[in-house]
Structures are given as structure tokens and as C-alpha cells.
Chains A and B, each alone.
Chain A
Amino acid sequence: MADTLLSTRSLKKRFGAVQATDDLSLEVARGELHALIGPNGAGKTTALNQLSGELAPDSGEIYFEGRPITHLRVHRRARMGLARSYQITSVFDHLTVRENLALAIQAHNGHNFRFWRRAGADPLIRGAIDPAMARVGLEHRSRMPAANLSHGERRQLDVGMALAGNPKMLLLDEPYAGMGPGGAVELTKLIRRLKNEVTILLVEHDMGAVFSLADRITVLVYGQAIASGTPEEIRCNPAVRQAYLGDEDNNEVEDAC
């Protein structure tokens, strides 16, 4: 593999009787869009939470840019350039779109123990807001409280906030969940655009999106990676077809071969 940005080695996490992550070794190359798929309960979000630092693995190691980050806390990982967005959109409802992004920008530039000057007047923040809004196509919503945005726009804002610190890598947790058809098209456009700027690990249920966007795919079943490869390889992989057989939502996996 050319240049690995993020990798895990034998990651394990158990909740009671459930082995949610079972000996997971993952490699995400710099610049690629890597998708993590699997049936319900396969442990996708659990894996993601360990990567972002919200869950501590029982054993195993995580490396980011070759450095072990297994024991670093969430905010340290974020500062290193490992950003995430949430499955349940997680924006600040009482703040406007502008202010949401300003807060995200603030995390990565300048000194936050400033007690006197208006945050809104800080040129470090002001200068970065418009590009950040343009990046996720929310310029026209600038002054609107996040609570009033549509579901799709909130998702765009969520991603925009994750991007505000110019991360090296973005963890996207089921961005298509609960999205209407119109929103999904917008989101696909957005992700396609982001693909050229940042390495992405996409955890997703929507197979259509995954197969059209991903450079590489890893399939997770019962916490184990049963296959990893290009979309074509995954489509024709018998083990994957076995895992998805009978799962009607996912005809796509079967149709192609």
C-alpha cells in the first residue's frame, strides 16, 4: 500500500457477551475514500468510535500518520487532523450557521482563553467562515439558527464543522441515514467534491452510495473484517455475498456479478 494514513492492528472491543470489534485490522491510504460496510449490528459505529477516541479498545493499536494514537483523547485526535461527523447530526441548534462554523474554526486557530474581545470580530475567525460555508454550500443560510435548517442542510453543516479545521481525515458516520432523495443527491455531490481534498472513512448503509463513491471497501460482519478491496472485488466476493444473502435492501451487492 502506497501511503497509509490511518491503520488499526488487531483492534478488539467487547460489550458483555458481544464481541463488537473482533481483531480488526484496517488500512486507509492517504487520499482514498474508504468505506466500511456491513449488516446491522456488525460493529461499524463501534469501530468508528474507537478511531475517534470516544471508546477505548480492549486491546489493539490505532496509528494515524504512523504515530500510535490508541490512548490519545478525542480532542487531541481532532487537533491532529482526525475529524468526524455524527450519525445523529450534532450541531449547535441555538447558534446560527455562521456561529456553528465559527466555533469549529475556533478550535483550530488562535488562542481560546481570550476573555475580552468579541469572537465575531476576530479576523482569524471571520476570514475563515465564508470559505467554510461555501465548502458545504450553505452561504444562503448564514444567519439562520441551525435548528431551522432542513435535515439535509443540518447534515451539510455537521460535515462543514468537521471540515473547518482542515482535517487530514474525515470519519463520516452514516451520512445518508434519514436523508430524502433530494438530500441524498446533494450529499453525494458534496462527498464527491470532498474526495479530492481529504481522506475519508465512510461508514454507510446505503449500498448505492458506497459503490459509487468508494475507492476501497472493507466489509464488517460480527466485528470482523471479512473482506477488503475495490468495489469490484467486493461485489464478487463469495463471503460478502453470503453475508448479505437474503438482505433485501442490498440487492445491489448481488446484482452486479
Chain B
Amino acid sequence: MCGKNDLQKELVQTIDPLVGGGKRSVSRRTLAIAGGALLLLALPMLTAMLDEPYLVTLFSRILIYALAAVSLDLMLGFGGMVSLGHAAFFGVGAYVVCILSAHGFEGTPVLTRPFTVGGHESALVLWPLAVLLAAMAAAVIGALSLRTSGMHFIMITLAFAQMIYYFFVSLEAYGGDDGMSLFTRNTMPGIDLADDRQFYYLCLAALAAFLFFAHRLVNSRFGMVIRGCKENERRMKSLGFPTFRYRLVCFVIAGAGAGLAGALITNQTEYVSPGLMHWTRSGEILVMVLLGGMGTLFGPVLGAAALLLMEELLSIYTEHWMVYLGPFLILVVLFAKRGIYGWIAGGNGNHG
């Protein structure tokens, strides 16, 4: 094997947005991704032409949920960890931003003991902090949950997420059950977050960056270990891998991604409530992943778009839109092996 052939393969693999899938559908897949990216880039222009500025807001929301879904897919589709508590990290990220922004706005400290922590309004401070705290929450919850597996893991992640949910419900100082609103969106040098179109592009950039990071991750040495753990953890151990720590790091990375999505959602809706981390929200994110295609990185983006658009459309006609969503979901899971993504881009990728 040398020279040109190798180079070609390398090239195909670099372009190939899905993890090392078959060569046959590369062009179709590339086409689908490029088309989707183009559509998202042009969306604010299109909505301006249609005179439907509300669509920019809706699509910002879709991009944010897509980010949360991609982060879940990282641990679910590649690491084989089925969590029903992913919204907890989403909520933690959202609350961190909202609480600190409120204090920043009022000029009051968040903490006075053991040391004084002031509020802040800059995104460059708040968002990394949201990511960090979500990651820390994930580290604690993951370290405990990953000692179990299968159904127990699902239940324990659910239980932890509900604990965090009830913690925020009882946090009266920050609105409790009613939630709290953000006075103004955060500030960022050079970008006006209050402008919906600029905010939209920021969300798109965040999603694209996370997708690129995730793509590199699943093909790296670390990614190979994670995928091995999904398929056969026992064998990974007997090959010499201390599997627990790899799975934990994957869990933490996924939590951090959800934290970033949370920071964005606070700014998008300018409001947070414990509902953000209710277990049904975790379920919704999970459905986005399944709908779009588990174990494909772009699938969850499609899943998020499909779910939120359906919700938007169907709820015009009926408030029981879930009745229609259920059968649709079943059809997709039954007939599209790799979700909507597999259906659009050709589902012959050979990696779980």
C-alpha cells in the first residue's frame, strides 16, 4: 500500500463526515451535508424574503437542541451509554448563565461565603463557566452511574436528573417552580446577541464547531476505545483497557456539550425553568437522537429539526400533537435503520 491509493483513502475519510462509512455513498452523503449546511447558512435571508422573522428564532432553537442531541449521541451512539438524564446538564448550563447574569445585572454577589463570587454578564465568562459546571455535574453523576449498566444505568441517570430537577424546583431564591427570566442577553465583543440573526449565526457556529470536534473525537484513539466499549466492554478489559475511566470521560464531554447548549438556550428564550431538566426533556433529546440516527453525528441535527418542526406544525392544529409523533417515531425506528440520516444520506455506514 503506498502513495496515491493511501492518499485517496485518507482524503475520502477526511471528507467523509460520518465515521468511516462505505465509499459508495460518500458523494450522496457529502451532498446531503453540504445542502443542509447551505440551507442553514442562507436561512436568515430566506426568512427575510418570506417575511417570517419568527423562523430565525425557531431555527436558533433547533440548532441549540441539535447541539444537545449531538452531545448525547456521543455517549449513546458511540459509547453505548443510554442516559435518560441528559437534560440535567442542559439545565445546569442554563441556570448557571441565568443566575450569574441576574446577579451581574443587579450588581449583587452570588456567594459571600466562603469567598465572594460576583455576577457577570459577559458570554465569554459565563458560557465557559456553564460548560465547566455542567461537566463537573456530569463527572459526579457519571462516576456513580457508570458503576451500573443496562437498565440500571438508565434508571440511575434518570434519578439523578430528577434530583437536580427538584433541587431547582425548591430553589425559591431563583424562582423555584416558576423559573426566572434573563433581563438581557449576555454580551459578547463584536457580536450583538440581542440581534436574532447574529444570535442565530452564533448558534450555527457553536453547533458546527461541536460537530467538528465530535467528528475528530470519534475517530481518535480515544474514540476507538469508546466504540470498543460500546460493542464489548468485557473484551476491552481483557485487552488491557481500564474501561471505566474512558466511559466517564465520554460522559463528561457529553455533559459539557449539553451545558453549552443550555447556556445558549437561556439566551435564546431569555428565561429558564426547572422544566428544562425534567425527565421528559431528557426523553425528547433521546428521541431526537433516535429519530435522526444514532451513532451518526449529523443525524441528531436532523432529528432535532424534525421533532421541533413537527411540534411547531402539528400544534397549530391540535395540542395533542404527540399522538401523531408517536406513530411517526415508531415507523422511523422500524424502517429506517439509521434514522432520518440513514434515509437521506444512505445508511450503509459500517460503524455502530
Contact = CB atoms under 8 A, between A and B. Distances in A.
A113 interface: yes
Interface string B5-26: 0000010010000000000000
Contact of A75 (B217, B221, B242): B242
A115 interface: yes
A92 interface: yes
B228 interface: yes
A103 B228 contact: yes
Interface in B224-239: 224-225, 227-228, 231-232, 234-239
Interface in A58-82: 73-76, 78-79
A119 B239 contact: no
A63 B238 CA distance: 18
Nearest to A106: B221
Chain B: number of interface residues, binned into ranges: 20 to 34
A244 interface: no
Contacts of A115: 216-217, 220, 222-223
A119 B221 contact: yes
B343 interface: no
B257 to A, nearest CB: 13
Nearest to A100: B228
B166 interface: no
Given A112-B241, A112-B246, A115-B216, A90 B234 contact: yes
- Residue from A54, A92, A102 with most neighbouring chain B CB atoms (10 Å): A92
A113 B237 contact: no
B215 to A, nearest CB: 10
A193 to B, nearest CB: 21
Contacts of B224: 99, 102-103, 106, 119
B228 A113 contact: no
Given A94-B231, A120-B13, A84 B221 contact: no
B220 A116 contact: yes
Interface in A95-145: 95-96, 99, 102-104, 106-108, 110-122, 125, 145
A119 B217 contact: no
Interface in B320-352: 350-352
Interface residues of B: mostly helix, strand, loop or mixed?
helix
Contacts of B352: 94
Contacts of B216: 115-118
Contacts of B221: 106, 110-114, 117, 119, 122, 125
Contact of A107 (B232, B234, B240): B240
Contact of B240 (A79, A96, A99, A113): A79
A93 B223 contact: no
A219 interface: no
Interface string B77-96: 00000000000000000000
Interface in B213-271: 216-217, 219-225, 227-228, 231-232, 234-243, 246, 249
Nearest to B224: A119
A114 B239 CA distance: 18
Contact of A78 (B13, B217, B227, B240): B240
Contacts of A211: none
A169 interface: no
B61 to A, nearest CB: 29
A84 B240 CA distance: 10
A76 B234 CA distance: 13
A92 B225 CA distance: 11
Given A79-B240, A112-B241, A120-B13, A90 B232 contact: yes
B220 A90 contact: no
Given A75-B241, A112-B241, A112-B246, A92 B228 contact: yes
B218 to A, nearest CB: 10
Given A75-B240, A90-B234, A120 B351 contact: no
11 contacts: A73-B242, A76-B242, A78-B238, A79-B240, A94-B352, A99-B224, A104-B239, A108-B240, A116-B220, A118-B216, A119-B221
Chain A to chain B: the 3 pairs with minimum beta-carbon distance, closest first: A78-B240, A107-B240, A74-B237
Given A103-B236, A113-B249, 9 more contacts: A93-B231, A95-B351, A108-B240, A112-B221, A114-B220, A115-B216, A115-B223, A117-B221, A162-B238
